[in-house]
Amino acid sequence: MPAIILDGNRISAAIREEVAAEVKQLAAAGLRPGLAAVLVGNDPASEIYVRNKVRTCEQLGIYSEKITPAATATTEELLRLVDELNRREEIDGILIQMPLPKQIDAKRVLLTVDPAKDVDGLHPMNVGLLATVRPGLVACTPAGCMEILRRSNIPVEGREAVVVGRSDLVGRPVAMLLTNANATVTVCHSRTRDLVEVCRRGEILVAAMGKAGFITREMVRPGATVIDVGINRVSTREELERFFPGDARRAAQFAEKGSTLVGDVHPAAAEVAGAITPVPGGVGPLTIAMLMVNTVKAANMRRGTNPGVKA
């Protein structure tokens, strides 16, 4: 029996509706959450990401600003900008779009963001709050992974979960979230021995290492829930045949656009998994949705109002 497809677009739409309702409720009280997105330079992919985030803010009634320092901006200039945004009362969330140009010390910049406005959930204070099970702002993609599980009625408590990847952005925080939800969690990385067997223990398997099709069907426990965080571009015929042999829809997409997308999980894993997130249309749509949740949450926490949207 093929795996149940966990529809991230559907879940994202439901979360956005909830956020819009909360924003409307705050507006009735004379409050409007505000997000500042800082985009340094002209990276095409980053421009698309920021444009989508700003557009989503507009759709949900959240105030937004896109701030675009030149690609030649220095660390000091960016630190001054962040300090100014920290002091602006109408800005509840500050988003620093990564990657930053090489001449900028990204860690210094991120550390300067007020933790109460850190809607990316990357500040050490917010990471510490997550680790000690205290209220705070949680990284958007990991929070989205948990929403997929929760809204798909997939039990986490007592389950054995395996996370492949230990990045600060996804692997570590999703492992903490799973632990906080009472799963038994194993975090795998490049030096993990017997990776295939460790992965096969997972009743929940989260793939977040950034390697196209790395998790094969042999690594998936039959009936497991697979959360595929990866987004990788397939741009050669050889890769297309390796990941999507005989898939007419993907072949047509490749012929039209010159590429298609694959996650960190080989599509054949769907033949043994019990449930799986697709790529695209799985975890991806949740990232922006949870950014909106975090912006409203930050507004509520900063202003002392009652949060109606739960991350």
Annotation says 43 is catalytic? no
5 — phi, psi (to 5°)? -90, 120
What dihedral angle (degrees, nearest 10) is formed by the CA atoms of 93, 131, 277, 161? Answer: 180
228 — phi, psi (to 5°)? -100, 105
- Catalytic residue among 53, 118, 228, 264, which? 53
**Strand order, beta sheet including 93-96:** 63-67, 34-38, 93-96
Q: Would you state the structure tokens that stand for residue 33, as one six-digit string?
A: 């959450």
CA nearest neighbour of 296 among 151, 144, 117: 117
- Catalytic residue among 92, 114, 118, 120, which? 120
* Cα(261)–Cα(245) distance, integer angstroms: 14
Annotation says 53 is catalytic? yes
Annotation says 97 is catalytic? yes
Sequence-separated (6 or more) residues with CB below 8 Å from residue 212? 230, 232, 234, 239, 243, 262, 263, 264
| DSSP symbols for 263-293 | -SB-GGGGGT-SEE--SSSSSHHHHHHHHHH
Sequence-separated (6 or more) residues with CB below 8 Å from residue 224? 202, 203, 204, 205, 272, 273, 274
DSSP state of 203: S
- Catalytic residue among 92, 97, 114, 118, which? 97
Active site positions, annotated:
53, 97, 120
